[in-house]
Amino acid sequence: MRTGEVWPLNVGQVYTTLQRLERDGLVESGAGDGEGPQKDYWLTVDGRRELGVWLRTPPDADAPPRDELVIKVLVAMRVPGTDVHSVIQAHRRHLVEVMQRYTHIKAEAAENDLGLAIVVDAELFRLDGVVRWLDAADARVSQAGIIPDLPVTDVSDQQTNVLGRR
């Protein structure tokens, strides 16, 4: 299974899952007649049908995940003395640095490594979406005229005090 080395894959988990699929009649395996420790598995007719259904079933995108970054920006807006723009910029820089690392992987990969390009693109588009959201939040904060009234260096103490009283 190729994941472009972007996601780690637990081999034990792979075999546990294959055994369950075999138990349910969705895959069959060879009787260990191959060379080496690897065992061959193939789809049954039921398995191919089940796979077809799974491939076309949308993952749950309705419920928004609890997003820590959204919460941090909301907190930054609520805590007096916080420079929201510098908080947003810290996250923007970090995200772009992560995107640079992914792009580096794509740039150095063989041009015909389609699987890797698609996996890396998925991460890049996701991160790009977060950067765009930060850009929009930044612009909204500017338009709303939220102005920091304390230097950035004092922010951490201020945050601790304010949050500590809650």
Partner 1 sequence: MSVMLEMLGVSKVYGTGATEVRALMDIDLSVDRGELVAIMGPSGSGKSTLLTIAGSLEDPTGGKVMVDGADLSEMSPNDRAMMRRRSIGYVFQDFNLLAGLTAAENVSLPLELDGVNSGTAIASALEALRSLGLEDRAAHFPDDLSGGERQRVAIARAVVGSRRLLLADEPSGALDSVNGEAVIRLLRDTCRRGMAGVVVTHDAQLAAWADRVVFLRDGRMVDNTMPPPGPESVLSGPGQ
Q: Which is nearer to partner 1, 79 or 124 (CB)?
A: 124
Q: Which is nearer to partner 1, 67 or 135 (CB)?
A: 135
Binding-site member from 85, 116, 141, 155 for partner 1 (CB under 8 A): 85
**6 vs 74, 93, 105, 141, CA distance in Å?**
31, 21, 9, 35
Q: Which is nearer to partner 1, 48 or 140 (CB)?
A: 140
Q: What is the end-to-end Cα distance of the chain in Å, rounded? A: 49
126 belongs to the binding site for partner 1 (CB under 8 A): no
Q: Which is nearer to partner 1, 74 or 96 (CB)?
A: 96
Backbone angles phi, psi at 28, to 5 degrees: -125, 155
20 belongs to the binding site for partner 1 (CB under 8 A): no
In the complex, least distance from residue 69 CB atom to partner 1, rounded to whole angstroms: 15
Please work out, in degrees rounded to the nearest 5, the angle formed at the alpha carbon of residue 35 by the alpha carbons of 31 and 37: 75
Backbone angles phi, psi at 57, to 5 degrees: -85, 120
89 belongs to the binding site for partner 1 (CB under 8 A): yes
93 belongs to the binding site for partner 1 (CB under 8 A): yes
Pull the structure tokens for residue 147. Answer: 């102005």
In the complex, least distance from residue 92 CB atom to partner 1, rounded to whole angstroms: 7
141 belongs to the binding site for partner 1 (CB under 8 A): no
User: How many chain residues bind partner 1 (CB under 8 A)?
Assistant: 24
Residues that bind partner 1 (CB under 8 A): 85, 89, 92-93, 95-97, 99-104, 107-108, 124-125, 127-128, 131-132, 135, 138-139
